[in-house]
Amino acid sequence: MQPPPRQFVVRLARREDVEAFTALVIDADGALERHPESREASHLSIETSIRSLAGQASDAERGYLLLLEDVHSAEIAGCITLTCHIGLEQPFYDYRVGRIVHSSRPLKSYRCLDVLYLSNDLTGCSELHSLYLRAGARGMGAASLLLKAAQLFIRSRLHEFAPRLIAELHGVQDANGASPFWESVGRRFFRVGQREVERLMAKGRKAFVAELMPKHPMYVSLLPTAAQAVVGEVHHSNVGLARELEADGFHFENHVDIFDAGRVMEAHMADLHGVAASRVLSARDCEDVAGERWWIAGGSGADFRVIGGTAAATDDELRIAPALLRRLGARAGDKLLALPLRP
């Protein structure tokens, strides 16, 4: 017999989560590259989130750490991070994939060339990053819950975010986990391993990246073949995520990661599914709701919580089971933010 699906809630990280979050980062084994494996780093991430909530963080540091908690066991099973403005302290780099036409009438030659331009175009944008789930929480819609929770959180504090939101997807890796783009491009400029570079990046030592980066535009067709093939391509583990981001209003706007050439997905906040399609409704408790699946956010400030569940909406009310309301920490009559599972 299959175990019943686990129930999760997404909420903001609190001071007492420091041990559990550190354990999650260790479980991620490097996948949470922006969150170094140390109690101090976890403490810092959580404090930043708390200070942001209190309006005490600067524009450059403001960001929120959202955790996925198992409703029954209280295990911290995943996370997602929102940074309100990237690149305001240390520059944020990407490559913009531009296009140049080389044509000659006398030669009857016409060549269309893609060019990688090192850019800081995305400076000041908001970023969705560090999405991670423990193995036991995967394949149950928990990733969607985290993504929608982040969007609903943005909606609840829209003024704190930039007009544009980005999310980086992992670039292609070979069978050994190495990035062909890094191996044939970056490595030749850095002469240290990608892991080492990312470790230093995670420690906030990004200044060295700027100093070592190729600053001239690079013609894609002049790159080693292995690198050409992966520019703007998505790692197989991120294909589902890519699809979901696209459904949520993200587009590939020709920015790629400087290390693995993976896609940077971009969305205008106003077009973001969680912002554009979510509705503020009053909670009305009701047993045996025959409705549809919704992503529902309740509570404000530190008590912000998001779940997925069955509910039915009218013009201004959301009929919802009392058990789900309790899970949200809300009561009948409270304002909820609800996003239909399907548009």
Partner 1 sequence: MLTIRPARTADLDALASLAARLPSPTLPSGAWELERLLERSDDAFAAEIDFAGEEEYLLVAVDAADAVVGATLIVAAAGYPGADYSFRNETIVHASRELGVNHRIYALALSHELSGFTLLRPPVALPGTHAARVERALLQAALSLIADQSARFTEDLVAPLPGEVDATGESPFWSAVGSQFFGVSYREAERLALGKDRSFMAELMPHHPIYVPLLPEAAQAVLGQTRDAFMGAYALLSEEGFEGERFVDVFDGGPVFYAKRALARTVHCAQLRPLRIAPGDVAGAGECLLSNRELRHFRAVLGPAVLDAGGYLSTAPEIAARLELIDMDEVRCVFA
Q: Which is nearer to partner 1, 219 or 237 (CB)?
A: 219
Which pair of structure tokens corresponds to residue 331?
Answer: 């009561």
Backbone φ, ψ for residue 4 (5° rounding): -65, 150
Helix (H) or strand (E) holding 26: helix 18-28
* Contacting residues toward partner 1, per CB under 8 A: 100, 102-104, 106-107, 109-111, 113, 115, 184-185, 188-192, 200, 205, 207-208, 211-212, 214-219, 221-224
Q: Which of 231, 222, 220 is nearest to 181 (CA)?
A: 231
Beta bridge partners of 279: 338
At its nearest, how many Å lie between partner 1 and the CB of residue 187? 9
At its nearest, how many Å lie between partner 1 and the CB of residue 196? 9
Q: Which is nearer to partner 1, 120 or 310 (CB)?
A: 120
Q: Which is nearer to partner 1, 1 or 101 (CB)?
A: 101
At its nearest, how many Å lie between partner 1 and the CB of residue 86? 21
What whole-number distance in Å separates Cα of residue 137 and Cα of residue 143?
A: 9
Backbone φ, ψ for residue 155 (5° rounding): -60, -40
At its nearest, how many Å lie between partner 1 and the CB of residue 221? 5
3-state SS class at 246: helix
Which residues are CB-neighbours of 40 under 8 A, at least 6 positions away? none
Q: Which is nearer to partner 1, 109 or 176 (CB)?
A: 109
Choose, from 85, 170, 235, 273, the residue flagged as catalytic. 235
**Catalytic residue status for 235:** yes
Q: Which is nearer to partner 1, 36 or 214 (CB)?
A: 214
At its nearest, how many Å lie between partner 1 and the CB of residue 41? 18
What's the Rg (C-alpha) of the chain?
22
Per residue, the 3-state secondary structure of 152-202, as one string, reads HHHHHCHHHCCCEEEEECCCCCCCCCCCHHHHHHHHHHHCCCHHHHHHHHH
Which amino acid would we find at residue 167?
Answer: A
3-state SS class at 100: strand
Catalytic sites, residue numbers: 235
